[in-house]
Amino acid sequence: MRVLMTGAAGGVATMLRPLLVGLYDEVVLSDRRAPEGLAAHERFVAADLGDPDSLAAACDGVDGIIHLGGQAYEAEWEVIHSANITGCWNLFEAARQAGVERVVFASSNHAIGFYPRRDRIGVDEPVRPDSRYGISKAFGEAVGSFYADKFGLRVLSIRIGNVGPVPLDKRRLSIWIHQEDLLSLIRIGLEHPELHNAIVYGVSQNERSWWDNRTAHRLGYAPRHRAEDHVDAALAAQAKLPPDPIGDLFQGGTFCAAEFAGDLKRTSS
């Protein structure tokens, strides 16, 4: 199986690349700049999400795509639109034209960030994006649904919490995912024989999780890592942070607090 990874020079891709060794015949890495240290099974193809021709070249001969590329945090709308709206559409369209069978889309918890932390939500609740970035991730989920239904691609959208070796604060005790668990979800998207289109939460086995991840478990997801194993360090780090009267109410944290000028009572009710 030949797999394309977009955004290959980014932080999440850098954590995942070593874990892909031995899993697939070839991993094609694409980004605007080359990542460091190509392994024997890796090949780099320069591609820009705004350039359909370069995406066509990157998708040529590929069986599945791990789409990590795009703007990875909040920005002005013009930046988000170019990278995560137009860029996402271009990627799915290039995949369709190249005959790619599967796309794993890196969505985000910020697509539902304005849900209060007291709520436990699944994937059937309406999106509540907390930012322009969150809007773009909700859009990407809709694009994935469209390409699955209209053109037969198999699509898994993963609402990633926060990826890393350990959770770094109190909020991340609820949303953290170890990179090995994220790889497990990605493999479901690339390999599950009955996948059509699904949205799952990218979260490890966290006792404090705000998310009902039964869709992922039904697809065979069995996370190995637990945020509670790191609770003392995370809470110690949290104690050094100033309180955030808005961000601390919502699942999206500081993304909700930035520029907030709404009615806090109505938004959090």
Question: Coil, strand, or helix at residue 195?
Answer: coil
> What one-character DSSP code corresponds to residue 99?
T
pLDDT by residue (tens digit) across 2-45? 999 999 999 999 999 999 999 999 999 999 999 999 999 999 99
Quote the CA–CA distance of 218 and 221 in Å, as a whole number: 7
- pLDDT one-digit tens code per residue, 151-190: 999 999 999 999 999 999 999 999 999 999 999 999 999 9
What does the chain come to in residues?
Answer: 269
Cβ atoms of 3 and 66 within 8 Å: the answer is yes
Domains of the chain, by residue range, sit at 2-268
Q: Is 73 a catalytic residue?
A: no
Determine the residue type at 142: A
Domain 2-268 coded CATH 3.40.50.720: yes
Of 73, 115, 133, 147, the active-site residue reads 133
